[in-house]
Each structure stands twice: as structure tokens, then as C-alpha cells.
Structure 1
């Protein structure tokens, strides 16, 4: 059996109830006593409350663990998905930056640590978050969400290593009799991944749930409600002594996992460093090899330790065609799915000229245009990439002509095509639908590719 890496993470979000801070302290003690690293994703307002309340005991302990970001205000409307649904990809990334850069800045300032990962509040996922997170140096997306997935394995999407909705996603329910079942589930997930070089088990909690019988936000912000702070209420407490009892059970569970010879705990930073994809300048032969394998169904391609997403394929083909260094680079998908003009023969020279035009940018990163203007023909990015591959493999020159090769973005198979999310999370407004979020999530599969371990 290969190695099993456990990612044990906590969404530290309840900034209303100071009682939840004792559970946070207790959880960090469990990890510190065992010498393992936990991943604590904090809400901006929560870290500010800890600072205002003088909880230096908690802040000191946090420095021994990995810090992640969990948005600035979590469930206070409008939540991320809601405020980004009406916006385009570039505009949405800018809006996410405007709303969230203060929170992630406070988190880094107060903890004195780099912010390594991000996870959405509840189910409030959106593709426009990725360019902003990438610009802030966040390298991993850690959560549970199935809008974009890759068969339960880690994958690259939007420039981040995605560790969400893994095969090994689990939790130990805080109820009687749950410990033996959780141990069995852990063993089952290990066995399920026995043939992987590295398997992953992702375990999560919220400190607040050790103290309260209901979630802090469900009793205040369900269905998009937004009461004023003086009307916020506390959830019902768990019975006296239950917090300590459940903390001890989590400790027993951790001890059980550590008894396995191939199991160790890891931060997302360690997992990113373990990932072995190679990014370097490609040789001419390597570019031609990728071009030979690029047909009319555009998706990531793997060759040895190198895996290129659809947008990276476009980029290395472009660079090679223009006589520039073909090194893979993050290029985000376009704003919209533009069909392009009916295909008709074009000059290779005009194809190259269209590639020399400045590309759009999002948060300082390149973005595919909706279409390339090739003389009097509008060519969509998929057709352009497939046509470039044909130019390279056929050895055409600027003096030649070519009939554009229409294709499809087959990578969209990794994104769901549904828009009704109202039932996903009780905090969402009733009847919420997000067709724009869904459409953009599919367009950004230009950036998807498997992680290699």
C-alpha cells in the first residue's frame, strides 16, 4: 500500500459566540500533544474578534499550524455565490478581490503567517475566486464541493491545487457510537486507495459544533436572512461535559489513524510540494508530440512528468508558432462561449498575426479572448488551439493556407451542468439558481488537469 496523507482541517467561522473558542483551543491541544499539523481556515471577522478579545493563547498556538482563508464574513448576506452570480469572470474576480482582500490581509497580519489555502463558506463556491486567490499566493483549494471534480482525486483548476471532494472526504459524527464506525470508514478509505502512490483522506470539523447543537449561522442567516447584530441569537448548547467528551473521542480517532504504519498528517503546503508536475521550457520535439496528440476534443494531456491543461496547450502552441519560448503558463478560460464564424480557409500568416494581439488579463494573469480575429474570420479559442496543433504537426509556414479545425472543449466533462443550488446550503436564499456560475465553471475547465504524485 502507498502512503496515506491525512488533511485534517477546521472551518473556524463562528465570530458571534466566544464559547466556541474553547473548542478551538482544545482541538489545537489535541494536535500539539501528538506533534501533528492541523489546517485552520479562519474567517476574517473571526481572527479580528480573537485579536480584539486578547486571545493571545489561541494566536500563539495557531502559529504551529497551517492557516487558510474562509472569507471575510462567511454567512452574512450576500454570500460569495450570490454576489458573484450576476458578474462575468473578470468582473467577478475583481469584485471578490474588493470584498475579500481586507479579510485575507487581516488574517496574514494577525497570525503572522502566509495563508496557504482557501475554502468557500458552506457551499458558496464560485469560479471567479480563483484568479484573486492565485494573485494572493494561495496555492490550494481545500473544501468539499462537487461542481468541478476529477474522480475523487486532487487536480489543478484555476491555477490552484484542488483538494476538495476527494474520495477520502470524511468526518467523525459527534454522536454516541460514532467512533467505531469512523475507524471502519477510515480503514475502508485506505483500502480503496491502496493502489495509489499517494492516497488522501480529508477530515473536517467546525470548532463551534463541539459546543452547540446547531450551527451559529443556521439560527441567524438561513434562507438569506440578515438580522441586525443586536438580533443575533445563540444556538442551543450541547449538554455539560459533551465538548470535552467529543474532543477526547477525536483524540482517540487520531491515535487510531496514527497506529497505521503508512499514515501521516500533512498540510496543504506539503501536498503542493509533493505534487510532481514539471513546468519548464518544452523542446520542439515535445511541442510536436503534444500537437500530434491534440485532436478535435480538447482536454489536458500527460506525457511523463508533464501534464498540460487545454489552456497550457494553447499557450505552448502559440509560443512555438511565434518563435518564442514554449513554457506552460496559467491562462484562464474566456468570458463566454462564443461560437465563432463558419469555418473557411485562412492564411497561416493571418493566424499568427491574430496571436500577436494583446490578450485579456484577469488579476494580472492571461485570459483567453472570446474569439481571435483572423483576417475577416472570428475563430473561437478551441478552434484556434486545434488549428495551431494542425499547423505544427503538418509543418506549415506563413505562406500556407489551412481550413480551421473545429473542436469541442472535452474538459467540461469534469464540471456539472446544473444551476439550481438552493438545496445545497440552508444559508442560500430560497430558490437560488446560479446558471452563470455553472457556465463559467465549465469555461474554466480550460485550466483543469490531474495532479501527479
Structure 2
């Protein structure tokens, strides 16, 4: 029987209604009584509100758990996707850093804990967040969103370990009679993952939903509404006693999961430590084997404990041809998808000169340019990577005099982008978005950043 790792996370976001603080405290007490580690993703404004309200009791208990970030203002417009949709990747990353950085810093200061994971508010996902999060030291993205998917398994994207839309995502509804069905569903999800190194169950709640029958933001910020704080309204509350009754039911559910000897609750930091991808420099034989497998289709490639994204493949081929140590360095995808010029072949000397040029940077991390200048031609990074693989297969030796040699330009395709959805109708995912809100730019950039995607690898327990 495969062991089961449970990630129990809470989006702590309702900074309007102080009543939600009591639910947060009660949930912390419930977990502490069972020795269970929770993952609490707080909105910056919520953390500041806890500080202003003198809730040292809550902050002290949070110190025993893992802290994540859930943006600074959550549903106040413009939300993340709204303000990033018009911007490019590099420009959008800087804007995310500018708007959300203070909340991240406040959260760390107020809780006294490192902020190690992130999840978007509602459905407000955007790829530009990733380099900023990585710069801040965030390692893991944990939430529920299906713009980028990987068959329900953990994956690397944007430099972060992503635990989004996993097979084992579940919650027990806060209605009478839900406990037995939740137990059954938990067992089903465990059984479904018996062939994996270990099962992953991702359980989530919002403290505010134990107090109110409606979400705090839905009654105030739906369909693009942005009323001033003087006009914020309170959602309908649950009947007296229901908050503790449903929190007790959650405790009963946790007790059931702990009755299984194969279950352990962990945080995302421990989850990252379980990942075993080999990031050391590749041997010459490994480089050749990966180059042999590229052809004209470019995606991630795996071999044992090695798994290289498309960007890492470029980095390895580039280093190998320049006579440098072939390290699988993460490279962000380009700003735009542009075609290569209509040329049949390129000069090897020009090719090597092109890859010697420094790469652009985004928040200090290397990024692929839209195109490389190879002699008199412009070549996009997909075609260039496939051509570098062909050059390595031909037996090219670093430093050799290839000034006169030419090589056919391989026209490639980025197959990794198959993990990105084409769906643009995001208003059906979250009531907060304005009506008819469209995100074609976000979708296009999500595909370009699949240069960074690859599966996470784990050893059998």
C-alpha cells in the first residue's frame, strides 16, 4: 500500500468581517489538538488586520504551521489577472512585484515566519507572477487552477513546484450528512494513486465559510464591482452554533484520515524535499542521448532521475557547444512567439556566435529572447534548440573550426504547450471577474512559459 501525503491548506482572506477570525482560531485549535500541520495562505490585508486587532493568540498559533501568500488585497479590483492581462511577461512580472511585494513582506513580518508557498485569489492566475515569487524565495504554488495541467500530478512550471488541480483535490462540504461521503472519497483517492510513489491528497477550506453562507467577496466585488469600504456589506451568517459544529466535523474527518497507518500530513517545504530531480551537470553521454531524442518536437524529456524542460535542454545544448559545463539551468520562455526567417541552413560559426550572446534577464533570471540573430537570419528559440540538438548529433566538437560548415535549420514545434488550456472564458470560473472578461494575452503567455514545464519526480517510499 502506497503511503499518502496530505496537504491541508486554508485560504485566509476575509479582511472585512472580524467574525472570520474566530473560525481561524478554532481551526488552528482543531489541528493543534491532533498534531496536524496546516498550510495557511494569508492575504496581506488580512495579516495586517490580525495585527491591528491584536490577535496575538492567532499569530502565536500560526507560528506552528506553514505560511503561504494569497496576494495583498485578494478581490479588490483590479485583481491579479485583470492588471496583468494587458502586460508582457517581463513588464507584468515587475508589476506583480510592485503591487504584491509589500503584502508578502508584511505577512512575513507579522507572522515571524518564512512565506514559502503561494496560491492565487479565486481564479486570478497569471504566469507573470512566477519570476517574482521565485525572487522572493517562494518554492511552491498550491491552489486549484486548470490553465496549466499535468494529468493531476505535481509538476515544475515557472521555476516553482506546482500542486494545482491534483487528482487528490477534495473538501468535505459544510452540510449535514457529508462526513461519511468524505471518508469514502478520501479512501477512493488513496486507492486511485496506489501505483504512484505515494498518494497526494490536497484538502482546502476558507475559515470564513464556516461563519457565513456566502463568500465575503462575492457580495461586494462580483462582476467587477469595486465599492468603497463604507459600502461593503456583510454576507448572510450561518445559524448560531453551526461554525463550531462544522469545525468539529472537520476534526472528525481528520481523525478518520489519521486512523489509517499510511497517512501523514505535511507542508509544502517537506514536499519539495521529497522531489528528487537531478540538477547536476550532465555527462557527455547524457547530453548526446537527450540530443538524440529532440528531433523537431521540443518538450520536456526524462531519463531516470533526470528530467529536463525545453528551456533546460536549450541551456544544456548551448553550454555543451560552447565548451562549458552543461548545467540544466531554468530559462523562462520568450515574450512573444515569432517565426524564423525563411532560410534553409545556417553557418555553424554564426550559430555559435548567436548562442554566445548574453540572454536577457527577468528579475535576475535568464529568459530566452524572441529570436536569435544567426548571421543574416533571425531564428526563434524553438528552431534554434532543435538545430543545436542536430549539431550535437552530427558530432560537433566544442571549439572546433567550423567557420565554413553549414547545417540545415530544423523547423521545430514546442509540444510542451499542450499542457496549457486554450479556454478564454474565465468569467465562468470566478464571479469576481467583470462580465465578458477575456484573457487572450494571459493564455498566450502561459503557453510560452511551458518552456519551463516538466514533471516532478519522486522516489518510491
- Does TM, normalized by the shorter one, top 0.5? yes
In 2, Cα distance between equivalents of 1:449 and 1:410: 12
2:5 aligns with 5
Where do residues 75-224 of structure 1 align in structure 2 (5 Å cutoff)? 75-224=75-224
1:315 aligns with 315
Please point out which of 404, 412, 425 is paired with 2:409: 404
* 1:437 Cα deviation from its structure 2 partner: 0.2
Where do residues 53-452 of structure 1 align in structure 2 (5 Å cutoff)? 53-396=53-396, 397=400, 398-399=402-403, 400-452=405-457
Task: Report if the CA contact (8 A) 1:68-1:115 is conserved.
Answer: yes
Question: Match of 2:252, SS?
Answer: helix
In 1, Cα distance between equivalents of 2:107 and 2:282: 39
Q: How many residues align?
A: 453
Question: Match of 1:331, SS?
Answer: coil
In 2, Cα distance between equivalents of 1:245 and 1:179: 12
* 1:340 Cα deviation from its structure 2 partner: 1.3
* 1:344 Cα deviation from its structure 2 partner: 2.0
When normalised by structure 1's length, the TM-score is 0.99
When normalised by structure 2's length, the TM-score is 0.97
2:18 aligns with 18
Tell me which moved more, 163-172 or 335-344: 335-344
Question: Match of 1:202, SS?
Answer: strand
In 2, Cα distance between equivalents of 1:71 and 1:427: 15
Runs of 4+ in structure 1 off by over 4 angstroms are none
* 1:343 Cα deviation from its structure 2 partner: 2.9
Contiguous gaps of at least 5 residues in structure 2: none
In 2, Cα distance between equivalents of 1:249 and 1:278: 42
* 1:342 Cα deviation from its structure 2 partner: 1.3
Query: Per-residue CA shift, 1:117-165, capped at 9, x if unaligned?
Result: 0000000000000000011010000000000010000000000000010
Tell me which moved more, 57-66 or 190-199: 190-199
In 2, Cα distance between equivalents of 1:360 and 1:446: 15
What CA RMSD, in Å, does the superposition of the two structures yield over aligned residues? 0.7
In 1, Cα distance between equivalents of 2:211 and 2:345: 68
Task: Report if the CA contact (8 A) 1:343-1:406 is conserved.
Answer: no
* 1:419 Cα deviation from its structure 2 partner: 1.5
Query: Per-residue CA shift, 1:50-74, capped at 9, x if unaligned?
Result: 0011100000000000000000000
* 1:356 Cα deviation from its structure 2 partner: 1.1
In 1, Cα distance between equivalents of 2:390 and 2:408: 10
* 1:360 Cα deviation from its structure 2 partner: 1.1
